[in-house]
Chains A and B, each alone.
Chain A
Amino acid sequence: MNYKELFPIFENNEELVYLDTAATSQKPKSVLEAVWNYNVNHNANPNRGGYKLGIKSTNLFLEGKKKVADFINAQSGEIIFTKGTTESLNLLAYSYGLNELREGDEILVGISSHHSNLVPWQEVAKKLGCKLKYIDLKADGDLDLEDLSEKLNGNTKLVTISHGVNATGVIHPIKDLVSLVREKTEAKVILDAAQTISHIKIDVKELDIDFLVFSGHKMFGPMGIGGLYVRKEIIEKMKPFLFGGDMIEFVERKGSTYRTDFQKFEGGTQNVEGVVGLSAAIDFIEEIGLENIRSYEGEILNYAIEKLKDLEGVKLYCEEAPHKTPVIAFNIEGVHPHDVAQVLDLQNIAIRTGHHCTQPLMKYLEIPSCCRASFSIYNTFDDIDKLVEGLEKVNSYFR
């Protein structure tokens, strides 16, 4: 199957070798058409107009919610749509963290976390006087469960983890982690699945997590739409943080009451075209099959690792972790990542360089920054060969 054909951007950019899916994935034609179709046939403000078009828009929104819920084995009432992972985590920090945590409580954060899953908790800790602790990594970049075990105690109230590490692609052992947390504490567990949701099956019940966050644009969907799963019994405890619009129950001169279910988080006009696009993205993933996606990406990743290993001056990071998303983190000895990316860009090869919004992880790996090549089903073995040629050019120029 030539998956590349399904993505119009490659028709319009024939030379493009896109190796930055971990930042955002390209969008298949079916997603683009679904968004177009919504706008030309059904667009109206959901949950408001009682006319046919408004009802259709509302139904598409609700169907999208059901689709997301089914995709991660949750219920519709447990899904809140947001702009994406960062907003989902901030919503949690405001609506759960600031209301449910107390002075002296401890928050455990994986040192490999994306800033979006770290800075909001720093803020919560600062405001409430909680203690923020980091879970260290093992030599292969995987989460150190022994370290976690030592740091868990009766004061631990929240454990928050990136499922797949943004910078290195390492997938952390969430089931084992949750078992440990449940065994020793009553802490809630947040899983940031932004880097894994389009690569491996996520089942919130099986993983036994309390919260899950993800972004649509990293799973072949549009930008500006993402989701938050909240275990049903917790939703009731959480307080709204955006006031107005649909989250309202009664508004009087002196005060107002709010909805108590997930809808208390849905103030304002919702991003229905985003939801429709996200629905189409889930259909796309399910048509190909996560197993097939994972297996193809695995082949590409292994091929890339083997090729890059043999290249002069290349240092790979965390390539030997037992489970990985299709991401390679590397540096070329003596050449700054930014210069590597520049030379590659001149050959139409797009990779990401920098600290990948994981500054504590970079410090942990004792590097200021690195290069990251990340893959998806639209990448080919030829793309990897071009990357290798590009890196050879970097070597010939800089070393």
Chain B
Amino acid sequence: MDLDKIYTEVIMDHNKSGHNKRELENPDYTERGHNPNCGDDFTIQLKIEGNKIVDGGFVGVGCAISTASASILFDLIIGRDIEDGKRIVDNFLKMIKQEKISEDDKEELEDAGLLENISNMPGRVKCATLAWNGVKVILEKL
């Protein structure tokens, strides 16, 4: 596989900017996601008001794929209802597991849809899903 197909422009941009990589002041929920194989370690934080995900972010260390994927995730879910957040996360995880999702669901994933290639790379699946699994754990508690 070509390097450019893995490290797409979107991934490189998100990795460099990492604009959701920040610590929230008073997070309502915190979840630590860890990938023991590579040492990646993210702490996921969310602020929830009523039925809405009003803010979110992550801190920690991770590779370009996990960092970009986390950054994209928060872009997608901040400002959305909890139910929307759950659906988006589930659809992303399905896509990475190579399960079928509808075109509408795919469209809703926006930039995250560009990570579909990763589903063909077993070694990187954990990277791409690290933050998503953390958010899933939090949202399922609500």
Contacts and interface: CB of A to CB of B under 8 A. Distances in A.
Interface of A: 335-339, 342-343, 346, 353-355, 359, 362, 368-369, 397-398
13 contacts: A336-B67, A337-B39, A338-B40, A338-B65, A342-B124, A346-B1, A353-B38, A359-B39, A362-B39, A368-B40, A368-B61, A369-B39, A369-B40
B38 to A, nearest CB: 4
Given A354-B39, A368-B39, A338 B61 contact: no
B63 A337 contact: yes
Interface residues of B, number: 21
Given A368-B61, A398-B64, A338 B38 contact: yes
B63 A368 contact: no
B62 interface: yes
- The 4 closest A-B CB pairs, nearest first, are A369-B39, A338-B63, A336-B63, A355-B39
Contacts of A337: 38-39, 63
A348 to B, nearest CB: 12
B37 to A, nearest CB: 6
Given A346-B1, A397-B3, A397-B7, A339 B38 contact: no
A343 to B, nearest CB: 6
Interface in B37-58: 37-41
Contacts of B77: none
Contacts of B7: 339, 397
B127 interface: yes
B39 to A, nearest CB: 3
Interface of B: 1-3, 6-7, 36-41, 61-67, 123-124, 127
Nearest to B37: A354
A13 B1 CA distance: 17
A248 B36 CA distance: 40
Nearest to B121: A342
Nearest to B126: A338
A362 B39 CA distance: 9
Given A346-B3, A397-B7, A369 B64 contact: no
Given A336-B40, A359-B39, A369-B40, 19 more contacts: A336-B61, A336-B64, A337-B39, A337-B63, A338-B38, A338-B40, A338-B65, A339-B64, A339-B65, A342-B6, A346-B1, A346-B2, A346-B6, A354-B37, A354-B39, A355-B36, A355-B38, A368-B40, A368-B61
A399 to B, nearest CB: 11
Nearest to A340: B63
Contacts of B37: 354
A118 B23 CA distance: 33
A338 B127 contact: yes
A339 B40 CA distance: 12
Contact of A369 (B6, B38, B66, B127): B38
Contacts of A362: 39
Given A343-B3, A346-B3, A368 B64 contact: no
A362 B123 CA distance: 21
Contacts of A335: 64
A335 to B, nearest CB: 8
Nearest to A347: B3
Nearest to B67: A336
Given A346-B1, A397-B7, A339 B63 contact: yes
A250 B121 CA distance: 54
A343 B3 CA distance: 7
Contacts of A355: 36, 38-39
B71 to A, nearest CB: 14
A336 B67 CA distance: 10
A397 B65 CA distance: 14
Contacts of B3: 343, 346, 397
Interface centre among B1, B37, B63, B64 (most CB of A within 10 A): B63
A368 B6 CA distance: 23
Contacts of A397: 3, 7
B74 to A, nearest CB: 19
A359 B34 CA distance: 13
B70 to A, nearest CB: 13
A355 B61 CA distance: 13
Nearest to A369: B39
A354 B38 contact: yes
A343 B36 CA distance: 21
A345 B116 CA distance: 20
Nearest to A345: B123
A26 B23 CA distance: 45
A150 B74 CA distance: 50
Contacts of B64: 335-336, 339, 398
B35 to A, nearest CB: 9
